[in-house]
């Protein structure tokens, strides 16, 4: 079971993957009290009235509790192990609860076992991988396809890790996707998880990279897209945070940046640190897909301990700054896809001039996604779910970098597994995402205008 959302933040239109809910609305009693040192609690509140929704979200917001997902049918809230006995004000509202493990399970796999030469049967996409294995994957893929793949170091993380990008390009040939301009092929950027815990987003990014070099005879190959596009993929834009989710806390969200010698908390929400409409405050939870509001809007000072801390200034995160600088060096960019998972934030902006094209793209993409495994997507307006996120990558890529077709793809799940989507879904999600990329890559060339 799973769900995904294709969101065009700056562009209004969204694809929301709909699927059955795994949790019922009745109160479920947890197992007899035990001592949990590594398990957090995921609560789902379903079929709520407006008053209950306000109470839950107000309590969660005021106490900086980790809100995982808000929809018109449910709210998912996570509390880590050290907060299991803390009362926040929503515990007595009927909900279902489950313990989820915060320590990552890892089984070492060797590049020799991955069989990367066979995309359709490769074992690499059967499991999640820590950072060093993802880097090995990139190195091994380049060895197999040295004329197509170029690896780049585009910067360093706060803790000094290499920030790597894959550029996939092939000689221009006659293409059914459209003509090649004398300026060169079109550019398309794909980013993996800015938020460290969204492992499926990073797994999908590596799947797409593999699909783009796979022989056309293999199922879900995207090799034909290189006839007209150069793709630039950043599988792990937050290497410090991603590593921390493997070694310490599976559900860590931010990067691992030290914010000052006098501050105990670390980390910046990378998707609030971009330089378009960046804010040092955190907006109140006000966009809830409901006709009622929470009351007067508040803008409290940003708390460095918050999951959504935007930093002291835009581009303070070295990772964000590096990705932005990299994007500015790339020619002919017309597409950007930010891969994410399950229940993140959107931004609220005015109707863009490209709204008609975005609606058409979203409608077609919904059909392409559903064609793979029959998982349904619907389209809707921008601010009908969750809450604002100023300073996000989607708005910056659209407004500052001028990339007309800028989307965020929220991959599975609906909340059955939260951010811990089982490994058996990695390949199906990759297949769905491949169809999304393929559809957009066929749609975009007919809608872009370039200088002669």
pLDDT band, residue 345 (cuts 50/70/90) = very low
| 139-178 per-position pLDDT tens digit | 999 999 999 999 999 999 999 999 999 999 998 655 555 5
Whether 233 and 348 map to the same domain: the answer is yes
Nearest one of 123, 129, 68, 127 to 100, comparing CA atoms: 68
Return the pLDDT at 18. Answer: 27
Predicted confidence (pLDDT) at residue 369 exceeds the cutoff of 70? no
How many domains are contained in the chain?
2
Nearest one of 335, 351, 327 to 446, comparing CA atoms: 335
Does 408 reside within a domain?
yes
Nearest one of 414, 407, 428 to 190, comparing CA atoms: 407
Instruction: Report CA 354 to chain centroid distance, whole Å.
Output: 23
Whether 360 and 401 map to the same domain: the answer is yes
**More confident site: 366 or 248:** 248
Q: Percent of the chain scored above 70 by pLDDT? A: 73
Please provide residue 274's backbone torsions phi and psi, each rounded to the nearest 5 degrees.
Answer: -80, 160
Return the pLDDT at 356. Answer: 62
Does 10 reside within a domain?
no
* Greatest alpha-carbon span in the chain: 71
The CATH number for 186's domain is: 3.40.630.10
pLDDT band, residue 382 (cuts 50/70/90) = very low
Does 136 reside within a domain?
yes
Return the pLDDT at 379. Answer: 52
Helix pair angle (355-373, 426-443), 10° resolution: 140
Nearest one of 194, 171, 192, 189 to 232, comparing CA atoms: 189
Whether 67 and 201 map to the same domain: the answer is no
Both tokens of 112, joined, read 């020799």
Q: Are residues 413 and 2 in contact, defined by beta-carbon separation less than 8 angstroms?
A: yes
Whether 187 and 233 map to the same domain: the answer is yes
C-alpha distances out from residue 29 to 26, 87, 110, 266, 414, Å: 10, 16, 43, 35, 22
d(CA 418, CA 42): 8
| 90-119 per-position pLDDT tens digit | 999 999 998 888 888 888 888 999 999 999
Whether 118 and 203 map to the same domain: the answer is yes
| 168-226 per-position pLDDT tens digit | 999 865 555 555 555 689 999 999 999 999 999 999 999 999 999 999 999 999 999 99
Whether 29 and 170 map to the same domain: the answer is no
d(CA 281, CA 310): 8
d(CA 164, CA 196): 16
C-alpha distances out from residue 75 to 41, 230, 284, 432, Å: 14, 40, 16, 26
Domain range enclosing 335: 111-246+313-446
Please provide residue 427's backbone torsions phi and psi, each rounded to the nearest 5 degrees.
Answer: -65, -45
**More confident site: 263 or 45:** 45
d(CA 448, CA 28): 53
Does 222 reside within a domain?
yes
Q: Which residues pair with 167 in a beta bridge?
A: 150, 232
Whether 30 and 149 map to the same domain: the answer is no
Whether 221 and 117 map to the same domain: the answer is yes
pLDDT band, residue 246 (cuts 50/70/90) = very high
Does 285 reside within a domain?
no
Both tokens of 124, joined, read 């690499």
Whether 325 and 359 map to the same domain: the answer is yes
Chain mean pLDDT for the chain = 80
Task: Write the CB contacts of 320 (distance below 8 Å, at least 6 apart in sequence).
Answer: 268, 270, 273, 274, 393
Whether 52 and 154 map to the same domain: the answer is no
Whether 333 and 239 map to the same domain: the answer is yes
Provide mean pLDDT across the span 130-138: 97
């Amino acid at each position: 079971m799973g769900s995904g959302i294709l969101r065009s933040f700056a562009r209004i239109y969204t694809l929301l993957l709909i699927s059955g809910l795994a949790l019922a609305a009745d109160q479920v009693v947890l197992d007899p009290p035990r001592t949990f040192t590594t398990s957090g609690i995921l609560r789902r509140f379903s079929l709520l009235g407006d008053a209950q929704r306000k109470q839950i979200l107000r309590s969660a917001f005021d106490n900086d509790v980790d809100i995982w997902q808000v929809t018109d049918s449910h709210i998912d809230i996570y509390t880590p192990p050290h907060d299991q006995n803390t009362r926040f004000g929503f515990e007595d509202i009927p909900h279902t609860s489950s313990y989820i493990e915060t320590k990552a399970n890892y089984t070492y796999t060797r590049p020799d076992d991955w069989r990367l030469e066979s995309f359709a049967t490769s074992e690499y996409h059967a499991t999640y991988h820590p950072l060093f294995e993802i880097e090995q994957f990139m190195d091994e893929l380049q060895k197999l396809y040295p004329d197509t793949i170029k690896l780049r170091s585009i910067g360093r993380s706060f803790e000094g890790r290499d920030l790597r990008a894959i550029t996939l390009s092939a000689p221009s040939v006659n293409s059914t996707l459209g003509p090649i301009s004398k300026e060169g092929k079109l550019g398309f950027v794909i980013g993996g998880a800015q938020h460290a815990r969204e492992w499926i987003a990073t797994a999908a990014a590596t799947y797409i990279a593999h699909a783009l070099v796979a022989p056309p005879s293999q199922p879900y190959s995207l090799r034909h897209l290189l006839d007209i596009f150069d793709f630039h993929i950043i599988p792990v834009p937050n290497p410090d945070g991603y590593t921390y989710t493997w070694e310490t806390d599976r559900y860590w969200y931010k990067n691992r940046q030290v914010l000052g010698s006098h501050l105990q908390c670390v980390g910046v929400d990378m998707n609030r640190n971009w330089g378009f409409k960046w804010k040092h405050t955190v907006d109140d939870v006000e966009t809830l897909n409901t006709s009622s509001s929470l009351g007067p809007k508040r803008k409290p000072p940003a708390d460095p301990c918050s999951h959504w801390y935007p930093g002291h200034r835009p581009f303070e995160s070295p990772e964000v700054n590096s990705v932005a600088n990299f994007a500015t060096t790339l020619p002919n960019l017309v597409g950007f896809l930010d891969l994410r998972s399950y229940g993140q934030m959107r931004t609220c902006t005015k109707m863009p001039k490209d709204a008609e094209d975005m609606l058409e793209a979203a409608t077609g993409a919904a059909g392409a996604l559903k064609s793979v495994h029959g998982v349904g997507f619907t389209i809707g307006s921008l601010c009908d779910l969750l809450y604002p996120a100023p300073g996000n990558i989607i708005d910056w890529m659209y407004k500052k970098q001028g990339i007309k077709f800028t989307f965020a793809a929220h991959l599975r799940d609906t909340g059955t597994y939260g951010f811990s989507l089982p490994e058996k879904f990695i390949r199906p999600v990759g297949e769905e995402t491949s169809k999304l990329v393929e559809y957009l890559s066929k749609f975009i060339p007919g809608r872009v205008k370039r200088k002669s």
